[in-house]
A and B are shown apart, each in its own frame.
Chain A
């Protein structure tokens, strides 16, 4: 039998097989024709999480995946370019992404930008092109941040000189650039001030007027020692501001609701026997549920230089008493070390942890029970935001 004859024989066979297999189906009503549409986002759930996938192995292709911690469904995606900073607006309606695009994909002219995505549709709702100065780095809360009113946003610049841009969100334009004299990042302070972390262990706070221009600046007293025990730049949103954790496990709570930062006396995650043995580590090194006043920190055993290694356990602290109330195993239940943690803000919260293998675990944040592991949220889930 030649090739042509063989094809003809197979065709006859397949048609006759289809006919006999579908005879029974003809008795039922046929499926209705479908309308090809684009979905909107469902109503916001209490356990949504925005997972920032840094896409470390192909960094120009970072993205944010919106995921429901109850149904374990992917809800949609926001593109995030190269070394992005991602933040939600104070009203939760918008995601701001500051990123860089290259004109020829992996190379070519650089465009630094802030893109705004409407969280109800996940469509891009505007952009601001920046000067080519944006801080290209791992995501934190302070690469890009909003003033509490939502009217202005601030974006960190490093060229390597440090400064920040003030952005008019409503009119989608850069208002001005403010030199920060070597202090890094943009921490929103009070209604219209911006603080930055300084190499002297202080905070620089720049006050802005109603048009977004500087009116004054002040340095805090030193509150940490950058040589002996530096703090991670990944601040954790707290009830009154942000909490910073040091490499050795000291906790520095800073109130940012007034015009000046209010720095509380530090306390420690570790007791005398644990100091220098157990330490926090990873990329997003803590999360706070403000309603329950609980702090979650990925902890591991390690020496100096181990501050980016993930947690083999999650330690849970009561923020009213500063006491540890739980140690939850990570590696002991066959999860890879956790390099990012985030918690929802309701009274039945979920904890999300990102493993070094890209697996995201969904935990009951009250009991420590792992409810689900999700392997489809990207290669480098190093930063989470919860609305």
Chain B
């Protein structure tokens, strides 16, 4: 089993244990959607090789704000282009009340300066209300143009929601990137 399959198996098992059946089916749908994109998945080990550090090593001194989920410099937000849901009634990994979560997303890696690990995160949009407008954040580490959609943050990831207006963005940890 290749590392990506292993990752998705592990994450879907873990999610199944943590969520109700209906929630699990929803998440499974996301994973299946993700699996269709596997050839394009942006888990780009080569480009990270020079930046990677051994877990536990002393990381480079963190930027101011890198531990504050309401700050664009928060480490998980390394490629968010939009408004931070943590300033809009949600958190760094949850949508504000009354919005809907985007079932499709793009995936990237961000390094946590606190432990020196690279984490795989999914960038999701929260949808169905007009622009939040708070905490605008425009970071684009390893972001790619539209033709590499699985790594693009210019497109509206609420596109497949029944209410497809864009409200804000989150960054959800999926797991630690295996070396």
Residues of A within 8 A of B (CB): 56-60, 82-83, 100, 102, 105-108, 110, 132, 135-138, 158-160, 162, 182-185, 196-199, 226-227, 230-233, 304-308
A160 touches B149 (CB 8 A): yes
Interface segment among B6-14, B53-61, B63-71, B133-141: the answer is B133-141
A59 to B165, CA, bound (A): 9
- With A and B bound together, what is the CA distance between A202 and B1 in angstroms? 31
Q: Which of B20-28, B88-96, B152-160 contacts A (4 or more CB under 8 A)?
A: B152-160
Set A106, A199, A307: member contacting B147, Cβ < 8 A: A199
B128 within 8 A of A: yes
Q: How many residues of B contact A (CB 8 A)?
A: 35
Neighbouring B residues of A197 by C-beta, 8 Å? 145-147
Which applies to chain B's interface (DSSP): helix, strand, loop or mixed? loop
Q: Which residues of chain A are near B129, meaning CB under 8 Å?
A: 106-107
> Chain B residues in contact with chain A, CB under 8 A?
40, 44, 47, 78-79, 81, 104, 128-131, 133, 136, 138-149, 154-156, 158-160, 163-166
In-complex Cβ contact of A108 among B78, B149, B154, B163 (8 A): B163
Report the minimal beta-carbon distance from A99 to chain B, rounded to whole angstroms: 12
Report the minimum CB–CB distance from B175 to chain A (whole Å): 22
Closest to B78 in A: A305
Chain A's nearest CB lies how many Å from the CB of B139? 7
Q: How far is the CA of A370 from the CA of B89 in the complex (A)?
A: 43
Bound CA span A196–B149, Å: 14
Q: How far is the CA of A29 from the CA of B131 in the complex (A)?
A: 53
8 new A-B contacts, CB < 8 A, other than A107-B165, A184-B149, A233-B147, are A56-B136, A58-B130, A58-B131, A106-B129, A136-B166, A138-B154, A182-B149, A197-B147
Q: Are B165 and A60 in contact (CB under 8 A)?
A: yes
The chain B residue sitting closest to A157, CB to CB, is: B159
User: Shortest CB–CB separation between residue A87 and chain B, in angstroms?
Assistant: 17
Q: Report whether B163 and A304 are in contact in the complex, using a CB–CB cutoff of 8 Å.
A: no
Chain A residues near B143 (CB, 8 Å)?
A: 305, 307-308
Q: Contact between B141 and A304 (Cβ–Cβ < 8 Å)?
A: yes
Do B147 and A183 have beta carbons less than 8 Å apart? Answer: yes
Contact sample, A vs B, 25 pairs, CB 8 Å cutoff: A57-B131, A59-B130, A59-B165, A60-B130, A83-B156, A100-B164, A102-B165, A105-B130, A107-B130, A132-B164, A136-B155, A158-B149, A158-B159, A159-B159, A160-B149, A160-B159, A198-B147, A199-B147, A230-B148, A231-B145, A304-B141, A304-B142, A307-B140, A308-B138, A308-B143
Contacts of B130 in A (CB 8 A): 58-60, 105-107
Q: How far is the CB of B117 from chain A (nearest CB, A)?
A: 19
User: Which residues on the B side are within 8 Å of A110 (C-beta)?
Assistant: 163-164
> What residues on B are CB-neighbors of A226 within 8 Å?
144-145, 147-148
Q: How far is the CA of A59 from the CA of B164 in the complex (A)?
A: 12
Residues of A within 8 A of B140 (CB): 305-308
Residues B145 and A230 in contact, CB atoms below 8 Å apart: yes
**CB of B32, distance to nearest CB on chain A (Å):** 14
- Known contacts A59-B130, A136-B155; is-contact A305 B147 (Cβ 8 Å): no
Query: Which residues of the other chain, B, contact A183 by a CB distance below 8 angstroms?
Result: 147
CA distance A233 to B148 in the complex (A): 11
A136 vs B155: C-alpha distance when bound (angstroms) = 6
| Known contacts A56-B131, A59-B130, A82-B165: A136-B149 contact under CB 8 Å | no
| A230 engages B144 (CB within 8 Å) | yes
Which partner residue on chain B sits nearest A231 by CB separation? B145
Which residues of chain A have C-beta atoms less than 8 A from B138's C-beta? 308
Which chain B positions have C-beta within 8 A of A230?
A: 144-145, 148
**Chain B residue with minimal CB distance to A135?**
B155
B164 touches A136 (CB 8 A): yes
8 residue pairs, one from A and one from B, having the closest CB atoms: A106-B130, A136-B156, A305-B141, A57-B133, A184-B147, A197-B147, A184-B146, A137-B155
